[in-house]
């Protein structure tokens, strides 16, 4: 008898919950599906969530903070871990930093790269002068690694004014003579914070810099450039910001708009630079921070044949749009390069898995970048080869060109 009563009671309250929710008075926030009503288009009050259309409720249990909520997916679906890339890769966005200066560092990096099938590391550590020379000497001294590491040359953007360009071009020529194969990584401080001697911000499209871009074209050096940062870093740090956690963790990623140029200002200057130097090959790092708007990057590729881009540290945006990203990578297969950025060997396999599989809904390696899972975009072999090594070889004639698969 008791059992029947419970069953009937439950049914009644569920029915009431779904039919009468909108008519419940405010303040009965818990239990029985009764919520706090809101108007259409209104957000739920803090601490509550929408449980039925226009009805909000607070959890009965204490809610975890954004930092502590780590649900385990119960989805069971085929898993294809990819430890080593299907084809030998060139990491165009390498920051092996300390590892290049000693035989032990080079050997340990070589072992990591072997296990991942990264055949070549391009150091984008903005080196010039003696530091670049010493690094190249160290690389050339390693029998195993001498053909597997190359170095980009840095440009010193301080004190841009009369005489700067001549000096910068001469330094670049010396760095190329020492073995540099390209320019980069030009850092985000170019545009965000570097000043001219008169105290004004050095704009990315400042005409005083033109001779260095022309020299890059003449010397056949790709220019690897990182401009700005994700657009959320320029926006208010509120609870609708997709990067709230990252911004809360790292103060140096916040660009308050009273102290920094806007995202769009930097993008405009950058695009002016690419347009004004059509003979110079530019590689926009991090998919130009447009991985969340691939159509925008596609328009840039269409308009600027001298533009290439690189995928480092934006896997979270590629892997959350598997169909769109697949089509984009196929369409622009001649313009995209593999690069990893921060050198953490255990993170490369996430890239291989996104590019090579059609796996569903799997973890990303940095939770604070993204609150979502990734999907494989299942690229065809011919596209993988271009992205992993052929495009880098094509735009960087000074790389060792022999011995790669056809
Ligand atoms: Zn970098």
| Protein residues placing their CB within 5 Å of the ion ligand 1 | 185, 341
Using the mean position of ligand 1's atoms as its centre, give its distance from the Cα of residue 151 in Å.
Answer: 13
Using the mean position of ligand 1's atoms as its centre, give its distance from the Cα of residue 244 in Å.
Answer: 22
Using the mean position of ligand 1's atoms as its centre, give its distance from the Cα of residue 93 in Å.
Answer: 6
**Pairwise CA distance, residues 69 & 121, whole Å:** 37
**83's tokens:** 């430890």
pLDDT of residue 8: 35
Using the mean position of ligand 1's atoms as its centre, give its distance from the Cα of residue 80 in Å.
Answer: 29
Using the mean position of ligand 1's atoms as its centre, give its distance from the Cα of residue 371 in Å.
Answer: 23
Using the mean position of ligand 1's atoms as its centre, give its distance from the Cα of residue 374 in Å.
Answer: 22
**342's tokens:** 């921060």
Using the mean position of ligand 1's atoms as its centre, give its distance from the Cα of residue 337 in Å.
Answer: 14
Strand, coil or helix: what is 60? Answer: coil
Spans of the chain below 50 pLDDT: 1-32
pLDDT of residue 1: 34
How distant, in Å, are the alpha carbons of 109, 309, 334, 393 from that of 115? 10, 26, 27, 22
**266's tokens:** 């930097």
How distant, in Å, are the alpha carbons of 207, 285, 343 from that of 348? 38, 17, 9
Q: What is the pLDDT of residues 54-82, one digit of tens each?
A: 999 999 999 999 899 988 999 999 999 99
Using the mean position of ligand 1's atoms as its centre, give its distance from the Cα of residue 312 in Å.
Answer: 8
Q: What is the pLDDT of residues 256-314, one digit of tens each?
A: 999 999 999 999 999 999 999 999 999 999 999 999 999 999 999 999 999 999 999 99
Using the mean position of ligand 1's atoms as its centre, give its distance from the Cα of residue 406 in Å.
Answer: 29
Please give the model's pTM, rounded to 2 decimal places: 0.91
């Amino acid at each position: 008898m008791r059992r029947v009563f419970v069953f009937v009671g439950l049914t009644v309250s569920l029915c009431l919950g779904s039919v009468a929710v909108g008519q419940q008075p405010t303040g009965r926030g818990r239990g029985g599906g009764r919520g706090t009503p809101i108007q259409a288009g209104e957000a739920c009050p803090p601490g509550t969530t929408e449980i039925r259309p226009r009805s909000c409720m607070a959890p009965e249990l204490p809610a975890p903070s954004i930092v502590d909520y780590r649900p385990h997916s119960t989805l069971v679906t085929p898993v294809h871990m990819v430890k080593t890339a299907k084809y030998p890769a060139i990491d165009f966005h390498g920051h092996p930093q300390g590892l290049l200066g000693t035989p032990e560092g080079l050997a340990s990096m070589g072992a990591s790269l072997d296990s991942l099938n990264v055949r070549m590391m391009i150091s984008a550590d903005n080196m010039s002068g003696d530091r670049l020379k010493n690094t190249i000497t160290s690389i050339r001294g390693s029998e195993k690694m001498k053909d597997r590491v190359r170095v980009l040359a840095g440009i010193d953007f301080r004190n841009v004014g009369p005489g700067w360009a001549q000096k910068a071009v001469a330094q670049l020529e010396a760095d190329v003579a020492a073995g540099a194969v390209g320019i980069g990584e030009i850092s985000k401080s170019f545009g965000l914070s570097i000043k001219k001697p008169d105290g004004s911000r050095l704009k990315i499209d400042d005409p005083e810099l033109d001779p260095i871009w022309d020299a890059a074209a003449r010397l056949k050096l790709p220019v690897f450039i990182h401009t700005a940062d994700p657009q959320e870093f320029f926006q208010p740090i509120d609870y609708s910001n997709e990067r709230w956690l990252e911004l809360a963790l790292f103060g140096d990623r916040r660009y308050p708009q009273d102290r920094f140029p806007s995202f769009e200002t930097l993008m405009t200057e950058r695009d002016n630079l690419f347009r004004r130097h059509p003979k110079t090959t530019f590689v926009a790092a991090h998919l130009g921070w447009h991985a969340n708007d691939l159509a925008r990057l596609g328009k840039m590729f269409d308009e600027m044949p001298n533009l290439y881009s690189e995928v480092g540290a934006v896997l979270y945006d590629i892997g959350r749009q598997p169909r769109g990203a697949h089509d984009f990578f196929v369409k622009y297969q001649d313009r995209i390069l593999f690069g990893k950025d921060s050198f953490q060997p255990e993170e490369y396999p996430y890239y291989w898995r996104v590019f090579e599989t059609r796996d569903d809904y799997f973890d990303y390696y940095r939770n604070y970048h993204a609150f979502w899972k990734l999907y494989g975009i299942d690229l065809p072999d011919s596209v993988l080869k271009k992205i992993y090594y052929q495009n880098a070889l094509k735009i960087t004639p000074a790389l060792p060109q022999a011995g790669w698969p056809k």
